Amino acid sequence: MTTKKKAVILVSGGLDSATVLALAKRDGFELYALSFDYGQRHRCELAAAAAVAAAAGAKHLTMTIDLRAWGGSALTDDAVAVPEAGSAAGVPATYVPARNLIFLSFATAWAEVLGARDIFIGVNSVDYSGYPDCRPAFIAAFAEAARLGTCAVDENWSYRIQAPLQHLSKAEIIRTGTALGVDYALTTSCYNPDAAGRACGHCDSCALRREGFAAAGVPDPTRYVIK
Amino acid sequence: MTTKKKAVILVSGGLDSATVLALAKRDGFELYALSFDYGQRHRCELAAAAAVAAAAGAKHLTMTIDLRAWGGSALTDDAVAVPEAGSAAGVPATYVPARNLIFLSFATAWAEVLGARDIFIGVNSVDYSGYPDCRPAFIAAFAEAARLGTCAVDENWSYRIQAPLQHLSKAEIIRTGTALGVDYALTTSCYNPDAAGRACGHCDSCALRREGFAAAGVPDPTRYVIK
């Protein structure tokens, strides 16, 4: 009997990370899904993350961290409104300062304890919101910091920060996941859902998701407030 | 009237970070002290951190994160004993996986929200416990990841991760802090204190601290269980 290699996968409850989880499963990893209750406005994504992890047969852990302690984002400060899609140039108000740096740091810690060398994250450079912490240069720099900041450096190996969606369009991501049997009805992407978890249909994240399903020719299972 | 530059300082409640805080104050920064309630065995250090921050006139925030969710260290898993000083080669059991990676990531997030470019950390390469995340190569790699994972990259500047104790002996650190008026009686270093917060006198951290005061010729204010 062989032991499966372990991987830590950042799972938000969104479309992208559900696809990443399916890719890690396809690659034969034992799955350790990590989510964060960070004070996000769209907290309903945590139930989606649990459902996505359960559907993939992953062990799932939700870490609570209070990024509202300092805010600085439309997602972690109720005084900052979620912008409409395409309403501003540059890094949008939904950018959460250093979020992926924090998330990957926790993933590295869990990986070190588990003896896992692979960490998966659903960052993307094509249909994305312009966040600096989703770019390949950041992922490469993080991998080096993780190597040097853990026992990996003394044992002469490196963490593999796997970002398999990096260069895919939203439509390609949806086709990839659909082929792997991902049930996107379990996922949620909206930054500004209503109390019932229905998507607003107007934020950046809704726009990217809706256009992705249309371009992929896959029926959009999203529950919108306004159809 | 000029506005002071802001700095985020990681403050554990120990001797080193109290000295770093005093150095940041000497350098004229407006002080934002950050501590972590991470499930550490020596949780009494959090009261020390608050006292150290108050004495320096710093704004102080304690972030709660549950590193016991995965353990992997004598400090975050009660099933792992705190080793006696000098009892093992290599990275000791008190190493907490990726701890400084996580701490610095939060510090970067707070700095980004504050508009601070300086982050202070009390890592050291001389009288220290052999942790990989206390070495200069890690600090440099982290600074690059922080730059690339935040808006700094688009604005063409870098965080300064200041580690002013990096190359000082424990005795030099104590002399530096004493000259700056640090009250080391407020600090605690022991990994295995008793319920009253008294130091065990036998762990790595106690040994380094005790030898440091002796070498510095400064009276040791530590309350030990056994004198």
pLDDT digits (tens, 9 = 90+) for A30-76: 999 999 999 999 999 999 999 999 999 999 999 999 999 999 999 99
Q: H or E element: which one contains B19?
A: helix B15-26
CA distance B53 to A66: 20
pLDDT at B227 over 60: no
Residue-level pLDDT at A21: 98
Return the minimum-mean-pLDDT range out of A87-101, B53-67, B161-175, B211-225.
Answer: A87-101
In this structure, are residues B160 and B118 in contact, taking their beta carbons and an 8 Å threshold? yes
| Model ipTM value | 0.95
Length of chain B: 227
What percent of chain A stands above pLDDT 70? 98
pLDDT at B84 over 90: no
Q: What is the mean pLDDT of chain A?
A: 94
Residue-level pLDDT at B37: 98
Interface contact flag, A101 B145, Cβ < 8 Å: yes
Residue-level pLDDT at B56: 98
Provide the shortest C-alpha distance from residue A73 to chain B (in Å).
Answer: 9
CA distance B170 to B176: 10
Q: What are the pLDDT digits (tens) for B130-172? A: 899 999 999 999 999 999 999 999 999 999 999 999 999 999 9
* CB within 8 Å of chain B, chain A residues 116-145: 132-133, 135, 137-138, 141-142, 144-145
Residue closest to A93 by CA, chosen among A77, A74, A113:
A74
Neighbours of A69 (CB within 10 A): 17
| A99 near B CB under 8 A | yes
Which candidate from A61, A63, A144 shows the least CB-CB separation from B141?
Answer: A144
Residue closest to B100 by CA, chosen among B74, B126, B137:
B137
Provide the shortest C-alpha distance from residue B129 to chain A (in Å).
Answer: 13
Burial class (CB in 10 A: 0-12, 13-18, 19+), A190: buried
- Name the band, by pLDDT with cuts 50, 70 and 90, for residue B1: low
Which candidate from A66, A97, A113 shows the least CB-CB separation from B150?
Answer: A97
Interface contact flag, B141 A150, Cβ < 8 Å: no
CA distance A124 to A146: 20
* CB within 8 Å of chain B, chain A residues 28-87: 61, 63-67, 69-72
A-B contacts (CB, under 8 Å): 155
Interface contact flag, B154 A132, Cβ < 8 Å: yes
Which of A90-94, A158-162, A189-193 has maximum average pLDDT? A158-162
Mutate to test the interface with B, among A60, A102, A104, A154 (most CBs of B within 10 A): A102
Residue-level pLDDT at A1: 53
Dihedral angle over CA of A188, A189, A192, A197, nearest 10: -10
Interface contact flag, A141 B135, Cβ < 8 Å: no
Neighbours of A84 (CB within 10 A): 14
Tokens of B184: 């080391």
Residue-level pLDDT at A227: 52
pLDDT at B74 over 80: yes
Count, in order, helices (H) and strands (E) of chain A: 7, 5
Residue-level pLDDT at B89: 76
Report, as an integer, the average pLDDT of A165-175: 97
Interface contact flag, A63 B66, Cβ < 8 Å: yes
Q: Which residue of A has its CA nearest to B148?
A: A138
pLDDT at B108 over 90: yes
A153 contact residues in B (CB cutoff 8 A): 132, 137-138
Residue-level pLDDT at B210: 95
Q: What are the pLDDT digits (tens) for A80-122? A: 999 988 777 788 899 999 999 999 999 999 999 999 999 999 9
Mutate to test the interface with A, among B37, B91, B148 (most CBs of A within 10 A): B148
Interface contact flag, B105 A102, Cβ < 8 Å: yes
In this structure, are residues A204 and A86 in contact, taking their beta carbons and an 8 Å threshold? yes
Interface contact flag, A153 B132, Cβ < 8 Å: yes
The reported pTM is 0.96
Query: Between these two residues, A92 and B36, which has the higher pLDDT value?
Result: B36
